[in-house]
Structure 1
Amino acid sequence: MRAPRSLALRLALAAGLWVAAGLGAAGWFITGVVVRQVEAAFDARLSGLLDAAVAAVTTDTHGHIVVGRAPAGADFDRALSGAYWQVTGPDGAVTTSRSLWDQTLPAAQSGHEGIAWRDIIGPRGEPLRLAERDLLLPDAAGEAHVAVALSRAETLAEIARLRTVLLAVFVLLGIGLVGGVVTTVVVGLAPLRRVRRALAEIRQGRRDTLDLDAPGEVAPLVAEVNALIATNRATVERARTHVGNLAHALKTPLAVLRNALEPSHPDLPSARAEAEALQGLVQHHLARARTAARATSVAAAAVSPLAVAQDIAPALRRLFADRGLLIEVTGASTARVRVDAQDLTEMLGNLMENACKWARGQVSLSVADVPGSVVITVADDGPGLPEQVREAALARGVRFDEGTAGAGLGLAIVADLATLYGGALDLARSDLGGLRATLSLPGVALPPVG
């Protein structure tokens, strides 16, 4: 089993990588700029010394190249000081600074205009930066070549120190930024840790809800969890109620069935009737349990009650063909309810089948789309139900042994399903003379066409 990944660790690692990449790029850029500035300053000084050396070069009365005065600005007099100049005449004669002692700089490069730059190795093996140019003087037999070289050892050491300092600064800055990011992540995820601890307390029975003062980003999660807890508790309570109702409803049929099967006076017809009643009770409570689970989970798709009724009507016409019943289905085809299609079929099927059982010759179903709900009316021309037993007929899903004989389980099932979906079932006398069952369910507005 894979170990759980820490969100805080993942965020800290991602932030650390971004900080390292950003600071690395910034350090590389800044270090490059500083190094180029230092080298540019060194080359500018070397160019100034070359100009001073050029200014010191003259010709004698015979047109030979001579150095009138030693260039100033560097230690050209101390042997092997790291600052050197050299002048090469047109005839190949070489004049050098005292600092070169018995050494010379590399031969001049030809074929260039202006100042030429080279990195060479000096008399002591030190790195030198050399600047050279050609010089044409009046009265001279040809071009002279002037070269000045300076040791780069101090400059390179300074660049190395700058690199070290910048690296240390950026490393410390990176550590500080990563530490700040980690602290921010830990503090920012603290509400989630509180939620986790509160959920553990709920599981252990020490807390009822997530009564936390959560920030705006976590508050919706807390609210949804509280709603889920409330829904689960309601589901458990409904399950307990179903079990209690079923146990209470089974007591009387089981007692009658036990008495009917006594060897002294067996009553098989009564036993068979009670067995059928027991089967109906179990099926009814199973249907309620399934519907309760569906109603509290994913919302069902919008269903047309008129289309469902039109599918049921042909089956009922065939079932009651010997009685010649007139079954009419009319109403708004655009009406929609957000009810599971199977549950809607069960509700309308029970209402229409109950009407067909008691009708003398006519059953009608109409669908009306009213603001906020859909009203489905099923009427028949049968004997109907007396007003004093209508409420008991709808309550049989709670206390089956208190229902009126002949009312059946269908109306109680419809009432229970309607309540689970936020609707209601009402019984009254119909204009046809029999029973009128009015089923109200929350409606769903269709999107506008076009």
Structure 2
Amino acid sequence: MIAGSLRWRLLLGAAVTILAALIVAWMFMTVLFERHLERRQEAELIRDGLRLASALSLTADGQPVVAAQPMDPRLQKPAGGYYWQVSTRAGVVRSRSLWDALLPAPVDPSADDWRMRRVDGPFQQPVSIVERVLKLDAGGVPVLVQLALDTRPLATARAEFGRELAVFLAALWLVLSAAAWLQVKLGLRPLESIRGDLAAMRDSASTRLSASNLREIQPLTDAINRLADAREHDLEHARRRAADLAHGLKTPLAAMAAQSRRARDEGAVKAADGMDRSIAAARATIEAELARVRIAAIGRTPGAPAQVRATVERLITVLEHTDKGGQLAFAIDIPANLQLAVQQEDLSEMLGAVLDNAVKYARRQIHVGAAAGPEWTCLTVEDDGPGISTDRAIDALMRGGRLDEAGTGTGLGLAIARELVEATGGSIDLDQAALGGLRVRFFWGLKQKT
């Protein structure tokens, strides 16, 4: 699903990128927090070191003496985690918290500024030591002042801060992922409108995508419109070629029909019959191709809705002037104001093909009916001829082949009608008519009418 969806790819990419950025942020913020605590600790130690230095004096033999000690409860408790020590070559003075332990001496003590280092301190405690070498007077005895603080509380504070920060950043990741989803949804919304326009282009070759006000979408819109122009040009060219070919064959067929009549007049009846069958088959094929040309043009230019009853009456009037049609009774059961959202010529083409077959195979009567609802329209043509079986009708329509090859009682007109009705968004089915013959039903709409 993710591999085939641009939306999910963008969302996954955004979620992973945000997660990676927040992990890096967590690492850096944790380090910055630790550095901040270390600076605060160093500042605290230096402050107390300055207090020690201000209260420091030396005895005549060089022993250090501290008149006032920093006031911190940890300094009074053995192994309290906070320690100070002042030492010279003559002796050492230290806080009560050190008890009988000593702070490790530096390898290269500094006399210019306070230095901080981390070592393993007394009582197996890791400590941070701030130290400096002082001289109380020029040429005096050097005095090493050291203050140490247990670093374990610092590590605990860092771990607690890291856990709380991780929970906060996880919640922030969810919020940012939701924001990314909204951004992707809004960003891809113009593509949804393009999808609707493409559906309209599928129904009508003359439809084009509307111009987009987004610079990133406009090149895609222009490319699709150029492709649609090329497709429409190719379809128009193919339609003209097919129509020219079909019309061009009519003249040779007319000449062949004239030769057939002359052969019949001269007594070559069997040869004339064979020619007539061949001419009829060729004419049927030409008419089918012309109908398919008409199908290819359906939807290219919108037209007014067809008046169903008026169209049926006009077709029946033509059929009643034929030899077979003049012997049949036609019944029309169609509301006078019924309209169908197809062009008048298309409706005439599909109904004409079906009525032609009905006239050919009906015995005495043909019934044409129609019904409509809010979202559907249904037309039926029934005759009292021999009809066809349900199995043969379903098989023929599913194959989409020429129904005149399915057996007696059907003709090429049904195949043409099927292609026409499907091109206009409808459907067709064949079954047994109440009159005993074939019932052809056309349906357009959202739900099937029974």
- TM-score normalised to structure 1 length: 0.48
- TM-score normalised to structure 2 length: 0.48
